[in-house]
Amino acid sequence: MRVGRRLFSERPYDGLSIDVLAREAGISKGLLYYYFGSKRGYYLAVIEAAAAELRALASPDEKLSPDERIRRTLDAYISSAERYPDVFRAVTHAGVGADAEVRAIHDRERAALLELIAGETVGSPPPAAARTALEGWLSFVEGATLDWLAHRDLSAEQLRELLIEALAGSLGAAHAAVRHNPGK
């Protein structure tokens, strides 16, 4: 999986052959086909492994305060995007519209992250306005991280603090929306 993440982060999917993947991993093509069925099967397994690693890094640690847990989660997210930028782009941007299986991984992981952040901030399940605000914030997180990967003119710490401040603003806006229009 490490070799696949490195290769898919260095080169686009279409730029890698099963021969190159097998050679770089130090195994036969047949072994890749046996375990993954195809290059695409290997690619999806690599994306699943990356998602599982991020989920493990973001898992709650009850010894930390909620603010520290959110910082730790965002640090893990940013670090993962930095280490594997093309895998991050594929999951959050490039592959999402065109690839139903990559989109399913993205949507599942995004829902898990929303639940985690909601649990740390407003409770789970979140009220409707907070849920909508958190969905919008997650889009902001993805977009800001993609911009950061492209420009690298902020430090990772500055990006994290920008995301935290945006989270506070999003939840503040959700609270204000309900306070000003308490209908539902």
Q: pLDDT at position 47, please? A: 86
* Contact call for residues 21 and 7 (beta carbons, < 8 A): yes
Q: pLDDT at position 184, please? A: 59
pLDDT per position as a tens digit, 85-136: 877 887 776 544 467 888 888 889 889 889 989 998 999 899 999 999 999 9
pLDDT per position as a tens digit, 27-50: 999 999 999 999 989 988 988 888
Task: Using DSSP, state whether 28 is helix, strand or coil.
Answer: coil
d(CA 18, CA 129): 47
Q: pLDDT at position 96, please? A: 45
Taking the model in full, what pTM does it have?
Answer: 0.82
Of 104, 174, 94, whose CA–CA distance to 142 is shortest?
94
**Architecture of the domain delimited by 50-180:** Orthogonal Bundle (1.10)
Q: pLDDT at position 94, please? A: 52
